[in-house]
Structure 1
Amino acid sequence: MKLKKMNLLFILVPLLLIALFKLYPVLIAIVESFFTGRIGEDRIFSGFSNYANMFSDPVFWKSLNSTLIFNIFINPIQIIAAIILALMLNTKFKGVRLIRTIMYFPVTISVTTSAVIWDLLLDPNRGLVNAILKAMGLPAQPFFTSDSQAMLSIIILASWKGIAYWMMFLMAGLQGVPANVYEAALVDGSNTFITTFKIVIPMIKRSILFVVVSDTISNLLMFSPMYLITKGGPNKSTNVLMYEAYKSTFAYADYGRAYAYVVVLLILIFIIVGVQLKAMRSED
């Protein structure tokens, strides 16, 4: 009986923490999205007015478009690159540990520092990248100051920082694949390509699913590079939903609008993650 109570206690504690730090904020966001009122003012129940105003605002649709474009490109780039690097660095060769350390180095740098580094590198006038391009006889590029290149530049920045992070989770999954699996495949005459895609990758499907879902959520909520470098510009080309929610809170002091943006973002996350889970669901 005491053992059952202890087991129940171990289950209840994390469930309470999840409810407190995950479910409660979501509930607050949903409830508060039906109220209007700025800092220092009384809150007024306004029903769906925040959503009506949001859906009729061109800024919302531009932010939604920027969010979808950002995630459509960055998620496959990060996941595919992470899988390839994990497979390459899971093998044993001289210097592999040093290479792993070097690859993981961007993860250890804070988001703010990363943004400053890339802002300097891609500066259209004094940046190192444009200096190299000019030395090669190529024209300088505007990067973060261009409507057409700003989002791509942020994708490069975020990928540089994120790929190695997700690579480590996949390498952990690869470390769990028994050595006799590779030996059996070799005995059966399987080549590296078939062994990788027909045997190894299916065996780390749970790790891949975790990376896919976590990476998607992380990128849907990302706004730091947009805030630190582009301020959502130029011409709102990098003004994602999360950044607009941030501005609604701290720039406009309009909590109702901010919560409405957050709720829409949560719904978007649930839909995309739900599709991913269904698409990658194991038969067992």
Structure 2
Amino acid sequence: MSAVAAQAIPQTRRWWTTRRRGHAIALLFVIPALVNFAVFRYLPILAAIRSSLWQYSLLGGYGQFIGLQAYIRMLQDPIFWKSLQVTVAYVVTKVPAQIALSMGLALFLARENRFAAVVRSAIFAPVVSSIVVVSVIWGLMYHVQLGLINSIITSVGLPRIAFISNPDLALAAIVIMMVWKEIGFSMIILMAGLKGIPDMFYEAARIDGASGWQQFLGITLPLLRRVLMFVVVTQTIFSFQVFVPVYTMTHGGPLDATKVIVYYIYQNGFLFQDMGYAAAMSTLTLAILLVVSAVQMRLLRSEVEY
């Protein structure tokens, strides 16, 4: 028996190696995040999918099982398609504009000096500001009669502009506000990526006579593809989920010009008490985001190592 025990101890020690001990310690640190995702992300998603198959409201609870009727109704709902169209227009307007401006700011402010640090802090300040407060302030600035922007416009002799009460301008007004609000986040991420590119590549390019534009296209962009992928994917997801500015400034108007998909989901779930239909739209929106994100990651992935 003692010989068997003596052989078992080394086997146990060989199984519990330093590498496995490190994996176990890492898992202990990851468990809280996994629990958070399971409780506050994955379980609500499964609950939403289940709710989409039933007649369900917050006040009445679960009613009759309806299967895929909510999805069929959604495909025949013109307001749903209108809200999806508005959301896509918002995303394809805001995301490219924000990334282009943040790239320019990152390139300009990447240098280390006191002026650049102050400007970086000023640009990043809106990111940590309350979106509700920002939306209210910008709504006041956009006011036709009393707004700051129209006061500046009329001071130079131009007519007043109805930004958020004009169906042709309301969505653009929200895009401008959200680009101002979130450009600091993209700028900081891109600046971190720029600082990770070794200077020797630029020095070699300058020796070969490459211009600044050629260095940007041949060095900066290829080596920033992974960072750009992160920025593009996250900003696309955030933009698809826009809600507070619409709720605070326009309530989906005028003439549904700013009724994005999340606001329409909110209306059905909380105002019309049709949570099952809202859950069906949420499920389809999640599927659209997964597909769009997969395509973006496929197109922007990079094999470049440095």
Alignment TM class, shorter chain as reference: over 0.9
Aligned residue pair count: 284
3-state secondary structure, aligned to 1:239: coil
Q: In the alignment, is residue 226 of structure 1 matched against residue 246 of structure 2?
A: yes
Q: Distance in 2 between matches of 1:195 and 1:37?
A: 57
Kindly state the Cα deviation for residue 127 of structure 1 after the two structures are TM-superposed: 0.7
Equivalent residue in structure 2 for 1:48, among 49, 53, 68: 68
Which letter maps to 2:149?
V
Which string of whole-angstrom CA distances, capped at 9 and with x for unpartnered residues, describes residues 15-69 of structure 1?
4543333332222222221111223424121101111222222211111111111
Map 1:67-146 → 2, pairs under 5 A? 67-92=87-112, 95-146=115-166
SS of 1:222's partner is coil
| Alignment gaps of 5+ in structure 1 | none
Q: Which amino acid aligns with 1:83?
A: M
Determine the C-alpha separation between the residues in 2 that align with 1:109 and 1:31.
Answer: 36
Q: CA deviation at 1:281?
A: 2.0
- AA of the residue aligned to 1:51: Y
> Structure 2 residue aligned with 1:7, among 17, 23, 26?
23
SS in 2 for 1:145: coil
Q: Which has the larger radius of gyration?
A: 2
Do the aligned partners of residues 190 and 92 (structure 1) sit closer, same or farther apart at CA in structure 2, a change above 3 Å counting? farther
Superposition TM-score, scaled by structure 1 size: 0.94
Deviation at 1:283, TM superposition (A): 3.9
Corresponding residue to 1:36 among 55, 58, 65: 55
Out of 189, 193, 201, the residue aligned to residue 221 of structure 2 is 201
My pick for the range that moved more, 222-231 or 262-271, is: 262-271
| Letter of the structure 1 residue corresponding to residue 60 of structure 2 | E
Report SS of the residue matched to 2:167.
coil
Report how far residue 113 of structure 1 moved. 1.0
Identify the residue that residue 157 of structure 1 maps to in structure 2: 177
Counterpart for residue 24 of structure 1: 43
Distance in 1 between the 2:129 and 2:137 partners? 10
Q: Note the 1:52-67 alignment, pairs <5 A.
A: 52-67=72-87
Question: Structure 2 CA distance, aligned partners of 1:51 and 1:94?
Answer: 56
**2:227 and 2:46 mapped to 1: Cα distance?**
30
Runs of 5+ consecutive residues of structure 2 not aligned to the other structure: 1-15
- Two-structure CA RMSD over aligned residues (Å): 1.8
Report % sequence identity. 33
Q: What is the CA–CA distance in structure 1 between the aligned matches of 2:141 and 2:230, rounded to whole Å?
A: 32
Which stretch of structure 1 is more off in the superposition, 141-150 or 102-111?
102-111
Tell me if structure 1 keeps the 8 A contact 2:163–2:170. Answer: yes
Given that 2:228 and 2:300 are in contact with CA atoms closer than 8 Å, whether structure 1 keeps it comes out as no
Quote how far apart the aligned CAs of 1:187 are: 2.2
Say if 1:2 and 1:41 are closer, same or farther in 2 by CA, change over 3 A: farther
Q: Distance in 2 between matches of 1:109 and 1:16?
A: 28
Structure 2 SS opposite 1:106: helix
